[in-house]
Amino acid sequence: MNRAASPQPQDAGAAAPAIVEVRGIAKAYPGGVQALDGVDLAFETGGLTSLLGPSGCGKTTLLKIIAGLLAPSAGEVYVQGRKVTGPGAERAFVFQDFALMPWATVLRNVAFGLELKGRPRAERHETARHYIDEVGLTGFEHAYPHELSGGMRQRVGLARALAVNAEVLLMDEPFSAVDEQTRRKFQEDLLRLRETERKTFLFVTHSIEEAVYVSDRIVLLSPRPGRVSRIIRPDIPRDDSPDQIRRHPVYLDTVEEIWRGLREFVE
């Protein structure tokens, strides 16, 4: 057992002030399906937190409630001290299925959030071009989504979320639709963007390895109804190369520890 995990839902290691607070969140769907029950969490400013758990445990439901895209059955969410009653400019959502406008170019897709805000054309195009470059798509500004690979379309979605300058980026399995090589490159890009953009990231994934590699903190949810089972802080060296990190004993031990925790849910 290494020191990467705390056996209790409480997160004694949290130090930075919370930008997002989840208080007593529950969600029941029609037909009596209880997706979440009594979830209490605080997400610290500038952190990258992954939500991890078995299928159907409410990870995406919780993310959408924080985004204001879904109303809870009970409980409240606060972002920057204000109660969430719907979507807000301080939050941006990166969808698993890209959610791009097929009739619009990469440039128009990335600039769309700024267009909705009424920003002048020159300003929004300048901002969009900056983030298109940040995600490695320079030269594809005038391409359409159907002309791009799945990985490139996901980069467009990420650039669009970054362009609106939201403080909190909510990412719902953003790398699940790409091959393993591209996925690893995305993970490295995400860590780089986190350092340059200084945003707060809430990240849903099914991959234990991915969660350990990218996260400051991992929230492990129990099977439906989802509750906070454990909070894990990977204590892996970040100065090594990606290959060295993935071979590091603490990384491997943390992956195994989380797997043992998830395995308890299905035994």
pTM of the shown model = 0.86
Q: What is the domain-level CATH number for residue 242?
A: 3.40.50.300
Task: Say how far residue 148 (Cα) sits from the centre of its chain.
Answer: 23
- Which tens digits make up the pLDDT trace of 29-61? 888 889 999 999 999 999 999 999 988 899 999
Q: What is the pLDDT of residue 3?
A: 38
- Which tens digits make up the pLDDT trace of 183-229? 888 888 888 888 888 889 999 998 999 999 999 999 999 998 999 99
Q: What is the pLDDT of residue 12?
A: 46
Q: What is the pLDDT of residue 8?
A: 39
Q: What is the pLDDT of residue 242?
A: 85
Query: Does residue 189 lie in a domain region?
Result: yes
Query: Does residue 140 lie in a domain region?
Result: no
Query: Does residue 130 lie in a domain region?
Result: no
Query: Does residue 141 lie in a domain region?
Result: no
Q: Provide the number of structural domains found in the chain.
A: 1
Query: Does residue 181 lie in a domain region?
Result: yes
Ranges of the chain whose pLDDT falls below 50: 1-10, 12
| Residue 47: domain span | 5-90+166-266
Contacting residues for 43 by C-beta, under 8 A, at least 6 apart: 18, 19, 20, 21, 22, 49, 168, 200, 202
Contacting residues for 221 by C-beta, under 8 A, at least 6 apart: 39, 51, 52, 53, 54, 57, 58, 59, 62, 227, 228, 229
Q: What is the pLDDT of residue 15?
A: 55
Query: Does residue 199 lie in a domain region?
Result: yes
Query: Does residue 112 lie in a domain region?
Result: no
Query: Does residue 149 lie in a domain region?
Result: no
